[in-house]
Structure 1
């Protein structure tokens, strides 16, 4: 049998991970497979016990609701995953031990790398949402020396999240509704600054209301980043482009985190010479 990896979750049918990984496997001609596996919470321990005994199984990606539940079942944790408190990638080592990683943080930062390579006088990110995805985003931005304004329906939860993930940082927690209303605040000279607006919530996703955000809160030159993938062109991104802002869509993070996991699973760099254009076309068809 060829080597294989999987993505697990409950539900799992909606996952785009098999399409991404199998696209790269086919392009590289690897003798490998990647598949989705529906694992319910009460079957998680049994699944990992069975897979750790299989030398052909290289590991799995982990999606909701298992990103925190898997932690007690692992032998080791990568330091970044430990800081974030969530695992989205499990690797089976040669001796059968299981190590937990979080590639969401690196995937989120990947399209920002050219910007982050520059020197800035100040970096600020306004992050909207306090769910599971926000954990990796906050940890990633804190490591890149951003001051974070975290907005949530429950500001106390936002404050607790900031204190947990970066207790030494000078960050701010605020109610999500703050960004829905017009502000007359006049931004100072933003030259030499890096400003991000990040939608880390499900708002704007199909079946959800749009994200309530007034662009008077976006400093000139801000990058607007929405991690929602369905639809890919969210109301937030559409409005941002109309106002002349640079935008990043959710496939950036999704493909970026998958690329990091792919290398760990299969020991090969995924082919991305066309800036993922062909893969994006498949994922949005």
Structure 2
């Protein structure tokens, strides 16, 4: 008899991960056999861990910090999206036993925008601003967000980061459509006035970090503001957006939606991001405060 599939989330540290809660909920909802485990593997042990996945009977798993770039290098087959981002957060085996890697953060971010703003959000205003995104930050999450926005077809994505070098690396993804801004340029307001979507991918506003000090007054009235931070769910940036009457998109939905493709690969059923799942994870966040 074939044993039930087992999957994992691996990181270092990993105790904070909500992925077991998400996948455990879906396993129960679908009545599927299988397990999903949390694994703490230090960077020096990660290559051997990945090379031993098949022998250990793993169907695959999620990869989080600090292993995403190493997972990209170790995957035998990487999706074009993962190659553009240079990082992998989802691993699985094909029927030939080859280890595949994808980055589902990009489609997860877009799926949450679609669920929050409607699938036609880029063209909703019919203005140039409505199809221009301003992304704050230039780390791995920013790279996934920028790649997702480019895949969606936005004609212009602006990137602002406190250090210039990493932002310029993002500009290289598509020099014709990605514009790199100096962080100081945000204070002038004219850049925000041209943006239909503002996305914070920095740690500013996260619990234990300083808030993101940014005046949202220049944003167009139809603009949306997204923050990939989900602890707290309501960051000062999102609170300021709501106070201005702007659409505000929190970071929890990205976490939930990015988990869907992996579950489908490992357990053979495509789950849905439902209000009950969100409520379960929100309760866990509140309970850990």
Instruction: Verify same fold: TM over 0.5.
Output: yes
Aligned mates of 1:207, 1:73 — CA distance in 2: 33
Give the match for residue 33 of structure 1. 35
Structure 1 residues 281, 65: closer, same or farther in 2, change over 3 A?
Answer: closer
Residue 42 of structure 1, aligned match among 41, 44, 56: 44
Residue 162 of structure 2, aligned match among 153, 163, 173: 153
* SS of aligned partner of 1:210: coil
C-alpha displacement of 1:186: 9.9
* SS of aligned partner of 2:10: strand
Aligned mates of 1:184, 1:117 — CA distance in 2: 22
Counterparts of residues 162-173 of structure 1 (less than 5 Å): 162-163=171-172, 165-167=173-175, 169-173=176-180
C-alpha displacement of 1:279: 3.2
Alignment check: 8 A CA contact 2:14 2:38 kept: yes
Alignment check: 8 A CA contact 2:22 2:281 kept: no
Alignment check: 8 A CA contact 1:89 1:102 kept: yes
Alignment check: 8 A CA contact 1:156 1:173 kept: no
Counterparts of residues 197-236 of structure 1 (less than 5 Å): 197-236=198-237
Residue 177 of structure 1, aligned match among 179, 184, 191: 184
C-alpha displacement of 1:61: 0.5
Give the match for residue 263 of structure 2. 262
Give the match for residue 141 of structure 1. 149
C-alpha displacement of 1:185: 8.0
Alignment check: 8 A CA contact 2:160 2:180 kept: yes
CA RMSD in angstroms comes to 2.1
Cα deviation code 1:26-45 (max 9, x no counterpart)? 11111011111011111111
Counterparts of residues 184-195 of structure 1 (less than 5 Å): 187=193, 195=196
* SS of aligned partner of 1:173: strand
Q: After alignment, is 216-225 or 37-46 more displaced?
A: 216-225
Alignment check: 8 A CA contact 1:28 1:271 kept: no
Aligned mates of 1:62, 1:92 — CA distance in 2: 15
Give the match for residue 191 of structure 1. none
The alignment covers a number of residue pairs equal to 276
* SS of aligned partner of 1:197: strand
Aligned mates of 2:157, 2:191 — CA distance in 1: 18
C-alpha displacement of 1:176: 2.3
C-alpha displacement of 1:261: 1.8
Aligned mates of 2:87, 2:120 — CA distance in 1: 24
Give the match for residue 90 of structure 2. 89
* SS of aligned partner of 1:216: coil
Calculate the TM-score normalised by the size of structure 1.
0.89
Aligned mates of 1:186, 1:264 — CA distance in 2: 40
Calculate the TM-score normalised by the size of structure 2.
0.88
Alignment check: 8 A CA contact 2:71 2:89 kept: no
C-alpha displacement of 1:242: 0.9
Aligned mates of 1:43, 1:89 — CA distance in 2: 18
Alignment check: 8 A CA contact 1:237 1:249 kept: yes
Alignment check: 8 A CA contact 1:204 1:235 kept: yes
* SS of aligned partner of 1:140: helix
* SS of aligned partner of 2:259: helix
Structure 1 residues 28, 238: closer, same or farther in 2, change over 3 A?
Answer: same
Counterparts of residues 235-250 of structure 1 (less than 5 Å): 235-250=236-251
Aligned mates of 2:192, 2:108 — CA distance in 1: 33
C-alpha displacement of 1:66: 0.8
Alignment check: 8 A CA contact 2:256 2:273 kept: no
